[in-house]
Amino acid sequence: MGTTPTAQTHQGHPSATIATMHAGALELVGNHCDIEEHIKLVPATARVRGVIFRPIHAQLQKRGLLEAYNAYFADKHGAIPFYPLTDYLLRLAVAGALVATPAKLQEGMFSICKGNASEIVQSVLGRALLRLLARDPVRLTEQGLAARRQTTAYGHWSIVRHGERSIEMVYENEYMWIDSAIAGSAVGTFEACGLTPRIETRLVDRFNGSTLIEW
């Protein structure tokens, strides 16, 4: 298992840019989660493709909250280029605060990620995968791992199978919130497959742990 990275607070780290450019966003969520410390601990090398920002916009648009979100963030992201993961983390936290309240932003992030995962699975590509893989949720989860490798440049996920209807997704150096954002994605994926999962988050520390999924 990886260990929590050492804080990087030098001027070249993305956290320095965030503190300068997005003070209003930090003010909204800073007292309600660990975002300020969190983004300092994320390595500058941790990056994600711009395509993963778009589902945040879609979920907020459905709720009539996109204009409020855009008041905090005027910049745009192309689908293919890589961007600092810290950019995404701050935007997800703000979106969670808008969907729920700042005090309940973890619940908001869970809801956003759950809705996003459900919509992906129910998309045209998702429906095609379901026809092929729905009888084997493990294989469907493996497809999700493959997709992650195409959109992220940090950390490592692996699957441990405990039985016919039980798997554990193990995370090493996963800098998103495992017990809210990642858990929401797991629930949304399985529910879109017509399954009712029972999940348990097991944290080693804030960036390492696993999700036990039974159905």
Question: Which of 80-84, 130-134, 140-144 comes out lowest in average pLDDT?
Answer: 130-134
What is the rounded average pLDDT of the residues 3-16?
53
- The 10s digit of each residue's pLDDT in 96-111 is 999 999 999 999 999 9
- What residue spans define the domains of the chain? 14-108, 113-214
Separation between Cα atoms, residue 112 and residue 194, nearest integer Å: 19
Q: Does residue 184 contact residue 190 with C-beta atoms inside 8 Å?
A: no
Q: Answer whether residue 153 shows pLDDT above 70.
A: yes
Q: How confident is the model at residue 3 (pLDDT cuts 50, 70, 90)?
A: very low
- Helix axis angle for 105-121 and 183-192, nearest 10°, is 30
Higher pLDDT, 8 or 150: 150
Confidence (pTM): 0.86
> Would you say residue 2 has pLDDT above 80?
no
pLDDT value at 162 more than 80: yes
Task: Select the more confidently predicted residue: 127 or 93.
Answer: 93
User: Given a cut of 50, is residue 212 above it in pLDDT?
Assistant: yes
pLDDT value for 186: 93
pLDDT digits (tens, 9 = 90+) for 32-78: 999 999 999 999 999 999 999 999 999 999 999 999 999 999 888 99
pLDDT exceeds cutoff 90 at 19? no
pLDDT value, residue 7 = 40
Could you write out the DSSP letters of every residue in the chain? ---PPPP--STTSHHHHHHHH-HHHHHHHTTTSSHHHHHHHS-TT-EEEGGGGHHHHHHHHHTT-HHHHHTT------SSSEEEHHHHHHHHHHHHHHHS-GGGHHHHHHHHHHHHHHHHHTSHHHHHHHHHHTT-HHHHHHHHHHHHHHHEES-EEEEEEEETTEEEEEEES--S-IIIIIHHHHHHHHHHTT---EEEEEEEETTEEEEEEE-
